[in-house]
Amino acid sequence: MAFTHLLVEDRDAVRRITVNRPDKLNALNRATLSELHLAFHAAGADEGVRAVVLTGAGAKAFVAGADIAEMNGLSPVQAREFSRLGQTLMQRIETLGKPVIARINGFALGGGLELAMACHLRIAADSAKLGQPEVNLGLIPGFGGTQRLLRLCGRGAALELCLTGNPVDAARAVQLGLLTRAVPAERLDAEVDALASALAQAAPQALRGILDAVTIGGEAGLATGLDYETQAFALAFSTEDMKEGTRAFLERRKPQFTGR
């Protein structure tokens, strides 16, 4: 599949999707959002893909936000559709059923932070800056920022970032729970590649069960979430990977998971 604003490559069972608009700091316009929809749909449908890394081209930005030049001309009705397009993409990533790692190599602001928060794990260079600066434009986050910040970091941090519009550095983002980890910039690729490789070797159905239990169960009451976990746990016993994993443990060898 050919894209105008994305680069897509496979490294064994890891698919790497790169937003490729470095001259615009990888800003998200409607065309880029639409291409990301297609790219993640393809990654979800491809059984050979077991993990996804999402990043931005160049050294300055993961994604520096939505494309302000395009947004400036939107009517309220068009703005609503733009928000829905972005939110649908974020939900697609969040519910992909395969682990998605955000490789944050620079600025992750506005829509860029919202994109990163839709990923399951976020690893950033220690020089990265993250924030929701929409208030400085007379706007509010529109791709899920208020809601995912609330769920990831709590009410206080969500209000601080959204009300002030001030970015935080990577160390502060780790403290808030916004980042999984921050690493020296020169170690970013090694850390991301090692994590992605490890996830790609894990049992795909078990990964999906964990992702669903956390994502879906986390939005329900505790009793409902626990019941969902029990059902997913039981379902895992029907897989060949569960039999292979337990057998390998007993035989003291590394399991070879096939996704069945």
Active-site residue set: 114, 134
Contact 144, 117 (CB under 8 A): yes
Strands 14-19 and 6-11: antiparallel
DSSP lists the bridge partners of residue 11 as 14
> Is residue 162 a contact partner of residue 141, using CB atoms and an 8 Å limit?
yes
Q: How many CA atoms lie within 13 A of 110 on its CB side?
A: 25
The beta-strand segments (E) located in 166-224 are: 168-169, 181-183
- H-helix segments, 46-168: 68-71, 76-94, 111-118, 145-153, 155-164
- Closest listed residue to residue 185, CA positions, set 81, 242, 72, 103: 103
The gap from C-alpha 17 to its chain's centroid, in whole angstroms, comes to: 11
Q: Which helix (H) or strand (E) holds 235?
A: helix 222-236
Kindly provide the residue ranges of all beta strands, DSSP E only, lying in the chain, ordered along the sequence. 6-11, 14-19, 51-56, 61-63, 100-104, 107-109, 121-125, 129-131, 168-169, 181-183
> What is the maximal distance between C-alpha atoms in the chain?
64
- For residue 163, give both structure tokens: 């009300």
257 near 201, Cβ under 8 Å? yes
